[in-house]
Amino acid sequence: MAVVFAERLVLQEKVNVMKKRFLHCLLLLLLAAPAIRAADILTIASGPMGGAYYPAGVGLGELIGKHVPEVSPRVEVTAGAIENPSLLAMEEADVGITNSDTAYFAANGMPPFSGKIENIAAMFNGLAPGGFQYIVLEDSPIKTIRDLPGKRIAVGPQGNSSSLNLRELMAFYGDSYDDIHPNYLPVSDGVEQMLDGHVDMAIVQAGIPAPAIQEAFASGKKIRFIEFPDEDRKKVVEQFPYFRPIDLTKEYYPSLGDDIVEIFCTNNIVIVRKDLPEDLVYKMTAAIFDNLEDFHKVHPAARWVSFENATETPIPLHPGAARYFKEKGYLK
């Protein structure tokens, strides 16, 4: 009986040793796993429905999913430019789309960010500029941005840079954002509310052309853009150098006919978590730029992307992206 008991103790000890070895190996595997948020899911933070970020994000996901088999992209609808760097910082997303100025603000801890977001890097620049497209009904009393105090404005969703940029523009003209009645709505909802007369102006700060504005032109109701005279645009750019002047034409919105609408824009950029493996980001970058013609077809906003402007980023490129562009001869 004592012999049997002793044999059981020896057997139990062997089992315990095997369990410890298994757990040790499992721990080593977990520590060595790539820094993707959950299993092989690659989460792409895009933007609100009705803007250009979402379809551009879908295009990114399709090409990465097709050419980088070790990951399975998932595109998330988000509030957009301001929220996306924070989602990467919290590891709730791995890839995101944002404005160039917002990426710079995030990396340097400037408002609207309360501190530096250090775990972000650029993958490439050059998505269609985010146009400051302010639309009203044709008979609206709002003729210029100076007519906004006291008005109901659909400024975009919380976490989008459109309200921040409106603050800057109103301050330039000597007015205050506190003097308007902001409605924080998804882009498509804001345009619909404007068409129905529930708000006085809708902001669609998105790639050009923006689906929500195309739908507004197709609604049968007459709309127009709020313009910025060219002499004002030059002064604004001096004060806010991350703004760029851009003209809307019938190339983007056929309903404009021969009209040329003078507005502002900011560049749009794709960012990634800095801690993603270099080889993974290299493959993701190659998936887009080795198939650039396919990417250009996903949405008009993607047609602006080129090798020439891809590396002009306000924050450092991820080492994986940098290696790709160096191999292609577009980065020293």
Per-residue pLDDT tens, the chain, 332 aa: give them. 444 334 443 344 443 444 444 444 444 444 444 445 444 899 999 998 878 889 999 999 999 999 999 999 999 999 898 999 999 999 999 999 998 889 999 999 998 899 999 999 999 998 878 899 999 999 999 999 999 999 999 999 887 789 989 999 999 999 999 999 999 999 999 999 999 999 999 999 988 888 899 999 999 999 999 999 999 999 998 888 788 899 999 999 999 999 999 999 988 999 999 999 999 999 999 999 999 999 999 888 888 899 998 998 989 999 999 999 999 999 98
**Rounded Cα gap, residues 156 and 302, in angstroms:** 22
Residue 156 corresponds to which amino acid? G
Cα angle: 190, vertex 191, 197; to 5 degrees: 90
The pLDDT value recorded for residue 38 is 45
Rounded Cα distance, 266 and 129, in Å: 5
Q: CA nearest 192: which of 49, 322, 327, 40?
A: 49
Q: Output the pLDDT for position 50.
A: 79
DSSP characters over 9-52: HHHHHHHHHHHHHHHHHHHHHHHHS-S-SBTTEEEEE---TTSS
Q: Is 5 exposed, middle or buried (0-12, 13-18, 19+ CB in 10 A)?
A: exposed
List where CATH 3.40.190.10 sits in the chain. Answer: 41-127+269-327, 130-266
Q: Where are the beta strands (DSSP E) in the chain?
A: 41-45, 72-76, 95-99, 120-137, 152-154, 181-183, 201-207, 223-225, 244-248, 261-273
Q: How far is CA 36 from CA 39, 71, 218, 278, 289, in A?
A: 7, 9, 42, 12, 22
Residues 6+ apart with CB under 8 A from 318: 121, 122, 123, 272, 274, 276, 278, 281
Closest CA to 203 of 152, 240, 254: 152
Give the tokens for residue 3: 């012999």
CA atoms within 13 A of residue 298's CA, in its CB half-sphere: 24
Predicted confidence at residue 208, as pLDDT, reads: 85
Residue 303 is given by DSSP the state G
Q: Are 94 and 105 in contact (CB under 8 A)?
A: no
Task: Name the residue with tokens 């895009």.
Answer: 46
Q: Which two tokens stand for residue 116?
A: 């530096």
Per the DSSP assignment, residues forming a β-bridge with 28 are: none
Whether 93 and 37 have beta carbons less than 8 Å apart is answered as: yes
Give the CATH class of 41-127+269-327. Answer: alpha beta
* 3-state SS, residue 112: coil
Question: Is-above-0.75 flag for pTM?
Answer: no
Architecture category of domain 130-266 in CATH: 3-Layer(aba) Sandwich (3.40)
